[in-house]
Amino acid sequence: MNVAAFDRLAEASSAFLTSLRHVLREAAFDDVFLGSCESIAPNQPDVLRVDLVRWHLRRREGAAAVLARLFAYGDAVEGDRAERVFGASLLRESIELGLVDLRDGNVRALFRMVPVEGLHVLSDDLTSDGDPVMGPGRTTQTLLAALPPQLTGDLLDVGCGAGTVALVGAARGARVVAVDISSRAVAMTQFNARLNDVACDARIGDLTAPARGERFDWIVSQPPFVASPDAEATTFLHGGRRGDELLLRLLSEIPPLLGERGRALVLADLPDVGAPWARRVVQHLGTGGSLGVLVSFGGVVDADMLAIQLGAFASSSTGRFADRIVAYRAHLADVGVERTLHALIDVRRSDVAFAAERRWERFGGVSASEFEVAWRGAELASRSEEALGASRLQLPNGARIRVDRDPVSERVAIRLEASTVRHELSEGAAAVLETIVACNSVSEALLEVLPQDAPRALVEEAFRLVRSLLVSGALIPSGR
């Protein structure tokens, strides 16, 4: 099925948008309600779970369930139930404008529309043909969680899709510019800005070209990052034959656009090519002043699972789900991608240039302030021995150290565990770590753990250990 015509809806009157906004809000079709639907068979491909979610929603009373059936799960809703939620005249106008259609007494939505942080974002069904526009998804949520809850200054959203990140950015306080190469995506972003009554300057163009010459405090992007089989390329999904080509081009455009205290956050799945990604990012950023780079990883997906996930985007015209999975798997083998790394790339102007990598158990549940602490840790780890020695460090909030002795082998396993991090420590590293958190500074701790007149090589090794504990998040700069 092709994407629905958008021209009439794009021209909808302000009065229509105000009434629609009112219905969506009054119904409490919000993040909490959608979260309850998403907790049904979580993490399964939509193709397997959507019918199950519809079954649950049909048994629920209330306007939010009707709106979720229509706009989040593509279900047909009996005309009289839809009319009770919309009201007769708004439903009629919604049909005239092509937001929904009425067939055989049932109403169906021709678009997806879901709540995000008090806003509602209209987008396409991603399994449609004809270059659908992406709305809020799980990966969009990760990007939003990494952005501070309050923003100031100017924000550029590159590859804005339906405008989710830009519009949430505006609602959090930033002045926003949103760019997409797809004219349909830009029109949808403008529609969503009007629907939610937030300001957004949406522009059509290739990557950052429409913003050339401007400076931003925030550059945010989730570019398409999926490897593209030869015969096809969908604008919202495919980032080149291997998947990272568009991302690498985007990185090279970032430095001149970054303001004096600017920060870029780019979310992508990176092909695991062996070489450290932090170094690749630095190479592609090129010259552009002193930059700090922290690449955070939040999970690994192997090529078979990736092929299954991507098969879920199989549309009616591109063949069976299972055939598509196998074809996609073969393409991944051709381009040498055996796994991808779910990554958030954080680039900032910094007086010390550095490139570090950080592994999280997963991104779900990691807040903007935890990403901030991770950044401060990586930055401190790149400083001189003098600066690092003078600093005070602590365990991450809520972390505890567990010591397990295997009763048979007597092997001791030491783990530092917090909600989103988990580290295996050697006995030596655990002893250094415990001394550091008990002392007022790293230097004071090293005086305790190192022998008097320790040779220079041993001191350097101790500092290397402290730096790696900081980068890995086993230690964080103290807020005390």
Ligand X SMILES: C[S@@+](CC[C@H](N)C(=O)[O-])C[C@H]1O[C@@H](n2cnc3c(N)ncnc32)[C@H](O)[C@@H]1O
Q: Site for ligand X (CB under 6 A): which residue of 102, 171, 181, 273?
A: 181
DSSP annotation of 361 reads S
Residue 251 interacts with ligand X (CB under 6 A): yes or no: no
For residue 442, give every residue at least 6 positions away whose Cβ sits within 8 Å of its Cβ, in sequence order, or none.
388, 389, 390, 391, 392, 393, 436, 466
Minimum CB–partner distance for residue 146 and ligand X (Å): 12
The whole-angstrom distance between residue 117's C-alpha and the CA centroid of its chain comes to 15
Residue 125 interacts with ligand X (CB under 6 A): yes or no: no
List C-alpha distances in Å: 11 to 7, 97, 194: 7, 9, 11
Q: Which stretch binds ligand X (CB under 6 A): 219-227, 309-317, 350-358, 462-470?
A: 219-227
Residue type, 20: L
Backbone conformation region of residue 290, classed left if phi is above 0, alpha if psi is from -120 to 50, else beta: beta
Residue 207 interacts with ligand X (CB under 6 A): yes or no: yes
List C-alpha distances in Å: 143 to 178, 356, 388: 15, 19, 30
Find the binding residues for ligand X in span 134-153 (CB under 6 A).
Answer: 134, 136-137, 140, 143
Minimum CB–partner distance for residue 184 and ligand X (Å): 8
Residue 182 interacts with ligand X (CB under 6 A): yes or no: yes
Render 226-238 in DSSP notation, one character per residue: EE--TT---TTTE
Minimum CB–partner distance for residue 250 and ligand X (Å): 8
Q: How many residues bind ligand X (CB under 6 A)?
A: 23
Pair 20, 111: CB distance under 8 Å? no
Binding mask 83-122 for ligand X (x = CB under 6 A): ----------------------------------------
Kindly tell me which of 189 and 382 has the beta carbon lying closer to ligand X.
189
Residue 159 interacts with ligand X (CB under 6 A): yes or no: yes
Residue 169 interacts with ligand X (CB under 6 A): yes or no: no
Residue 235 interacts with ligand X (CB under 6 A): yes or no: yes
Q: Site for ligand X (CB under 6 A): which residue of 160, 187, 291, 337?
A: 160
Ranges assigned E (strand) in 68-192: 77-78, 100-103, 106-109, 112-116, 119-123, 154-158, 175-180
Q: Which stretch binds ligand X (CB under 6 A): 84-92, 129-137, 442-450, 453-461?
A: 129-137
Residue numbers at the binding site for ligand X (CB under 6 A) = 134, 136-137, 140, 143, 159-161, 164-165, 179-182, 185, 206-207, 222-224, 235-236, 246
